[in-house]
């Protein structure tokens, strides 16, 4: 299906409430982590020419958009999310000419290119920050500078303005001897937060964004964009700082409190996003804006993505991939299907008639979903669970995001020692939590194996050669992070030859998103929400101009059923009723293999399993009514 045909389909169906419907209404986005995708010069790091060399693979997969994690100039303290120059490419990845070539070659293949916009913070090596260290400089108020706590010697333990902790470990405040004050950094101490209350900061960010759009990029994924508005008081003060009477939050076992309740979705969030839209995107066509949205509820997602409010196209919500009850991800209780159902149902229901949602289970900050929620204990279970989880995600209403290697069913790497990890968060939290006695060294290593971000950052597995085809086997430098040993079994070259591979299954899912109006935009309703094993829902699209009733006339419907376990499971009651199962368990009139739109077992087996009312391990299918 061509891009023009996809846009025609998008125009014919209801999506986010906009008229006409946006081009991304039935698009699929592919996220690339550049340093781990393809290395062409043998230095052990992926680069822009490497991405360009693999564009045919992405076009054949069928995706519409590629999103690049940051490739800007950076000291690489947090793998590029600490930017020192927004209008240059880091030499690790190439040059601006390489970026221009990538954009041109992608556009030639009908692919759009979205860049990662990191503007809640910069690198401490950015010229803006270096200038702000001088209280008399025009940039002095571009960051969150505060004096030491009253009665404390600046730069000594306990003198920090409040007790906020960084998400990467330690205090969220760093003392700068030159200025004699502390600056706020919610992440690494080399990632100072920008002060969005200052209109000059916002204007500089908008100029930079326009510069990139004029250069040919097609939009932005906006890193932690919902942290740009802080909850300041009438005097512009942060909670628990200076004369502020407000509490900075409860202290956790690590000795710090979380800044999130005070730094996420602040009172000017909508104002800032609407201003950004007005200053950058008004008058432009064909772009995509998606915001990473920590601290945002499903209801707020509806507001921000409602096209009438002119803020963002969609958001990444995280409650479904985070532990419930405010737990730390390092000490959380095991994942439950009930939690996933509750969260995704909330996402879907909130944007039933206005707004839009992003669909994802994997990204550069999450472990591999087939290891996290699936079963990678054997090759058979890995393939079945990878397909089941993919079907579950892609059959929801929204825009699916595929993270590199997800389409192969890549797994966690399970490193055995701390020195194999490269992720700043993982290393810092290991030391902080073990030294504080929160976790033993053994327990923390187990946590890293399960949840570390490095699980998603190992090299893309193109083939079974020494470095998985990421870089040449004879390259003078090893990859920046270790290659997953299962590259011999899980790789692109092998799966391209297998019509029943995980890769082939993803191609079919993406094709359905482009060609089937029910998948692209049908309404969504949960079935059997309390079932502990089976995730089932129905997608419904009313045919325009045709009356409909409770019998389903005038409607096209899909029932999606996924057994999210490695054991057999019974079809739950509501799903049975919708499929037309009678009291004895048989489908009235018989189940038809022809009605299986897609499944990870043969259609004939799906029909037979329906007759008996039981599901095989990880059995997943979409059945047309």
Domain locations in the chain as residue ranges: 29-120+199-229+265-417+460-496, 522-624
E strand spans, 17-146: 29-32, 65-68, 72-73, 85-89, 112-117, 145-146
On whether the CB atoms of residues 196 and 228 are closer than 8 A, the answer is yes
Domains 29-120+199-229+265-417+460-496 and 522-624 in one fold: no
Check whether 549 has a pLDDT greater than 70: no
Condensed to tens digits (0 to 9), the pLDDT of residues 42-95 reads 999 999 999 999 999 999 999 999 999 999 999 999 999 999 999 999 999 999
Average pLDDT over residues 282-309: 95
CA dist 288 → 127, 516, 610, 619 (Å):
29, 22, 41, 34
Strand 72-73 to 85-89 pairing:
antiparallel
Q: Which two tokens stand for residue 281?
A: 């995107």
The CATH H-level (homologous superfamily) assignment of domain 29-120+199-229+265-417+460-496 is Glycosidases (3.20.20.80)
The catalytic residue positions are 223, 292
Model pLDDT, residue 242: 74
pLDDT above 90 covers a percentage of the chain that reads 83
Q: Which helix (H) or strand (E) holds 393?
A: helix 379-394
Condensed to tens digits (0 to 9), the pLDDT of residues 480-531 reads 999 999 999 999 999 999 999 999 999 999 999 999 999 998 999 999 999 9
Backbone angles phi, psi at 402, to 5 degrees: -110, 125
Check whether 376 has a pLDDT greater than 50: yes
Average pLDDT over residues 530-549: 79
On whether the CB atoms of residues 555 and 521 are closer than 8 A, the answer is no
Closest CA to 392 of 361, 367, 368: 361
The CATH H-level (homologous superfamily) assignment of domain 522-624 is Golgi alpha-mannosidase II (2.60.40.1180)
């Amino acid at each position: 299906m061509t891009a023009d045909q996809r846009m025609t389909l998008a125009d014919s169906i209801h999506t986010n409430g906009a008229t006409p419907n946006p081009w991304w209404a039935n698009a699929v986005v592919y996220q690339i982590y550049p340093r781990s995708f393809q290395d062409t010069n043998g230095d052990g790091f992926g680069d822009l020419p490497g991405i360009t060399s693999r564009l045919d693979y992405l076009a054949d997969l069928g995706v519409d958009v590629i999103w690049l994690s940051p490739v800007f100039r950076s000291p690489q303290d947090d793998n590029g999310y600490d930017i020192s120059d927004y209008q240059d490419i880091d030499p690790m990845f190439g040059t601006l000419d390489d970026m221009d070539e990538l954009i041109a070659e992608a556009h030639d293949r009908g692919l759009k290119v979205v860049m990662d916009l990191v503007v809640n913070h910069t690198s401490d090596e950015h010229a803006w920050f270096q200038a702000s260290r001088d209280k008399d400089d025009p940039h002095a108020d571009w960051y969150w500078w505060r004096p030491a706590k009253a009665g404390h010697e600046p730069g000594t333990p306990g003198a920090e303005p409040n007790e906020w902790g960084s998400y990467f470990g330690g205090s969220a405040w760093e003392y700068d001897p030159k200025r004699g004050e502390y600056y706020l950094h919610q992440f690494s101490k080399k990632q100072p937060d920008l002060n969005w209350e200052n209109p000059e900061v916002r204007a500089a960010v908008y100029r930079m964004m326009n510069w990139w759009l004029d250069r040919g990029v097609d939009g932005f994924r906006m890193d932690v964009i919902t942290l740009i508005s802080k909850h300041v008081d009438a005097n512009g003060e942060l909670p628990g700082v200076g004369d502020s009477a407000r509490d900075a939050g409860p202290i956790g076992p690590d000795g710090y409190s979380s800044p999130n309740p005070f730094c996420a979705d602040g009172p000017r969030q909508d104002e800032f996003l609407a201003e950004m839209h007005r200053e950058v995107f008004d008058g432009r066509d064909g772009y995509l804006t998606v915001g990473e949205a920590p601290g945002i509820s499903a209801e707020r997602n509806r507001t921000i993505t409602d096209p009438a409010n002119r803020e963002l196209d969609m958001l990444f919500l995280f409650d479904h991939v985070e532990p419930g009850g405010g737990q730390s991800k390092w000490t959380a209780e095991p994942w439950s299907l009930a939690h996933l159902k509750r969260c995704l149902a909330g996402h879907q229901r909130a944007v039933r008639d206005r707004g839009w949602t992003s669909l994802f289970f994997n990204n550069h900050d999450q472990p591999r979903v087939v290891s996290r929620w699936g079963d990678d204990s054997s090759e058979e279970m890995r393939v079945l669970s990878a397909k089941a989880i993919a079907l579950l995600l892609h059959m929801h209403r929204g825009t699916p995001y595929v993270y590199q290697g997800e389409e192969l069913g890549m797994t966690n790497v399970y490193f055995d020692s701390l020195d194999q990890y490269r992720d700043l968060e993982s290393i810092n939290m290991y030391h902080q939590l073990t030294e504080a006695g929160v976790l033993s060294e053994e327990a923390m290593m187990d946590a890293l194996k399960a949840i570390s971000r490095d699980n998603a950052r190992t090299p893309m597995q193109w083939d079974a050669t020494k470095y998985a085809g990421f870089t040449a086997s004879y390259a003078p430098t090893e990859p920046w992070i270790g290659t997953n040993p299962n590259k011999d079994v899980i790789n692109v070259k092998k799966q391209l030859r297998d019509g029943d591979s995980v890769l082939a299954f993803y191609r079919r899912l993406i094709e359905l998103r482009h060609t089937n109006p029910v998948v692209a935009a049908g309404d969504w309703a949960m079935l059997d929400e309390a079932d502990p094993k089976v995730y089932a829902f129905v997608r419904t699209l009313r045919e325009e101009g045709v009356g409909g009733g409770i019998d389903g006339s005038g409607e096209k419907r899909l029932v999606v059923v996924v057994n999210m376990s490695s054991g057999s499971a019974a079809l739950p009651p509501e799903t049975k009723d919708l499929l037309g199962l009678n009291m004895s368990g048989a489908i009235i009139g018989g189940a038809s293999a022809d009605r299986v739109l897609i499944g990870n077992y043969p259609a004939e087996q799906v029909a037979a399993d329906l007759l008996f009312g039981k599901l095989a391990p990880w059995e997943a299918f979409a059945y047309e009514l």
